[in-house]
Chain A
Amino acid sequence: MSKRKAYYASKIKRAIHMLFYRRHKKPGVKGWELRKALGSDYPKVLKILDDYLKTLDLQVKTVFEEEKPVEKPTLEELDKARFYVTLRGELTPKETKMIGWRIDDLAGLAITIAYIISKKGKAQRKEVEDLLREKLPGWKVGLNIDRYIRYGYLTQDENEQLYLDWRTRAEVDQKALIDLLLTK
């Protein structure tokens, strides 16, 4: 193995450890943490890792501080961004059970996210509960919303307004969700 290859192989191992194992309360690693551990060429290390993960149907996902994705991020923007490893392709509805989601709960999450997007990023909790109650048992609705908040998909303010939180930004392609919904 050439010196250069060995250099990147060891960096990739280190990046894998950092990205796969949770280091903080929330999963994912901040750009500046990666820079500290891997050096200033960490974006290149992540690019090689992303190519490697493609064969495993996984990807390195970058979530920038700003809600909108940045096309050509600066080093400063990358430092502030959070990096995750996520599934690259699609799950089948049957597979969702393997990761602990019942079909009702997942449909509730999807409806909630889509509704909040339609309301420009914030919606009253009561309105969301009324919407979910049409198809889910009433006793479950509140519990489900609390669960979405606990997992980081949603956040709630003191006026009981719901917003999309970090996990939705990391895991959900919001634009594709709306497009698919409207063409269904």
Chain B
Amino acid sequence: MQTKRERSKLGREKLQRIIEMCKSVEDRSLDPFLIDVDGVISTVKEYFPEWKIPDDLNLDAETIHRLASVIKLQSEWVKHRSTSLYTDPFLLEEKLARIAKEDMVEIFTKIWHPIIEFEQISLHSFAESLRYWESLLPLKERWKEFAPEEVETSLATREELIKQQILRDKAFSEELENFWQELKQQVETKGKEGKIRYWDFVGAETYEDTVQRAFMTSFLVTYGYATLEIIPLEEEIFVKPYEKQMAKAGKKQLISIPISVSVKDWLKWKRGELNE
């Protein structure tokens, strides 16, 4: 006896086949009456009670959609046959294959009425163009080249590079360690169950500082100093520091988690509206 699983599998295969058949009728201009519409409908009906998951219901809907397109083609076919333009295509193809090209041209010239159009400049537009040309500045005046500003060159000092934020005054690893300690401290004071809300940790007085803290937090997570805990339904993210730096995840696949740190979110956090 067929199990429920086997029956669903068979149903899916049948629907796939129907979809493919309808597609080929549409794409390759095949006779739409090749499809047995009643048969398709009874198959769709037969398997419909089996479908529970969205993928199967989608497949069912697509089958109905494709069938509707075929029925539309059948209706167009009937309409075309009832018009005066309908001729047996085989008869016409036969004629086309046998007719000499001179005869074909003779026939075509009898029923061809080419469009008449002029391409000629008027005196008015000619005068307009001359006026435009006269008022047009030469290219060298329109596209003036700007001489690059001369800049004096000299060696930059370490202090200047730190000031421009190209170099940091502390080594990055040292800075990361300090940040980790700060996280641990904040979890102790503001956190619960060894973790702290992401925004409560990265949020700072200015937006620039907040972005800087989010940047550093991403390194804490990547280098195994902390981890992120995400509760999707409540849309909450927590940062949880490790006691010791963790080694890399081994064979476990690493994933990236994009977190938006927009000005809008930062303002919401400042007003205390973010986690309400």
B contact residues around A95 at 8 Å (CB):
109
Within 8 A of A (CB), among B126-149: none
What 0/1 readout, one digit per residue, does chain A (71-103) give for beta carbons within 8 Å of chain B?
000000000000011111011110110010001
Interface residues on B, range: 35 or more
- Min CB gap B29→A, angstroms: 6
Q: Determine if A15 is an interface residue (Cβ-Cβ < 8 Å).
A: no
Within 8 A of B (CB), among A128-184: 131, 134-135, 159, 161, 167, 170-178, 180-182, 184
B contact residues around A85 at 8 Å (CB):
115-117
A119 touches B89 (CB 8 A): yes
Complex: how many Å from CA A172 to CA B114? 8
Stretch at the interface among B43-51, B76-84, B195-203, B243-251: B76-84
A91 touches B27 (CB 8 A): no
Q: Determine if A117 is an interface residue (Cβ-Cβ < 8 Å).
A: yes
B contact residues around A124 at 8 Å (CB):
28-29
Contact with B87, one of A86, A87, A182 (Cβ below 8 angstroms): A182
Complex: how many Å from CA A167 to CA B114? 9
Q: Known contacts A21-B118, A84-B116; can you find 13 more A-B pairs with CB under 8 A? A: A21-B117, A28-B115, A86-B114, A86-B115, A103-B102, A103-B105, A111-B104, A120-B77, A122-B29, A131-B97, A167-B115, A178-B92, A182-B91
Where the two chains meet, the residues of A that have a C-beta atom closer than 8 Å to any C-beta of B are: 20-22, 27-28, 58-59, 61, 84-88, 90-93, 95-96, 99, 103-104, 106-107, 109-111, 114-115, 117-124, 131, 134-135, 159, 161, 167, 170-178, 180-182, 184
Where the two chains meet, the residues of B that have a C-beta atom closer than 8 Å to any C-beta of A are: 27-29, 76-77, 80, 84-85, 87, 89, 91-93, 95-97, 99, 101-120
A-B contact pairs, 15 of them (CB 8 A): A21-B120, A86-B113, A87-B116, A93-B109, A103-B102, A107-B104, A114-B92, A117-B92, A135-B101, A161-B27, A173-B113, A176-B110, A177-B107, A178-B87, A184-B103
